[in-house]
Amino acid sequence: MDSGMISKIEKGKRYAEERDQRIHFQTFEVAVEGDNSTHTVRFKDGVMTCDCDFYASRGRCSHTIAMEYSLEGMFPPSTN
């Protein structure tokens, strides 16, 4: 591996270690495999949503909570 790539890898690791200052989610979409089916969780404009029925009625669900725990500290917690 050349020295240029090694430098980029080291920089990438540093960015990851400093993630709370450097990485800010703007939007994402993930599939969360639930016990009964797979649901789509989206994050956009500071709001996380899910396509499941429970989310539709309550504004929060196990799928969005799973993402909050998985990405703990990476974005502001849900206010729902």
* 3 located within any domain: no
* CA 29/CA 24 separation, integer angstroms: 15
* 18 located within any domain: no
The boundaries of the domain holding residue 42 are 25-80
Summarize pLDDT for 60-75 with one digit per residue, the tens.
999 999 999 998 877 6
Contact predicate 46/74, CB 8 Å: no
Q: What is the pLDDT of residue 76?
A: 61
Contact predicate 80/59, CB 8 Å: yes
Summarize pLDDT for 19-67 with one digit per residue, the tens.
888 888 889 999 999 999 999 999 998 899 999 999 999 999 999 999 9
Q: What is the pLDDT of residue 75?
A: 65
Please count the structural domains in the chain. Answer: 1
**pTM for the full predicted model:** 0.76
Does residue 11 sit in helix, strand or coil?
helix
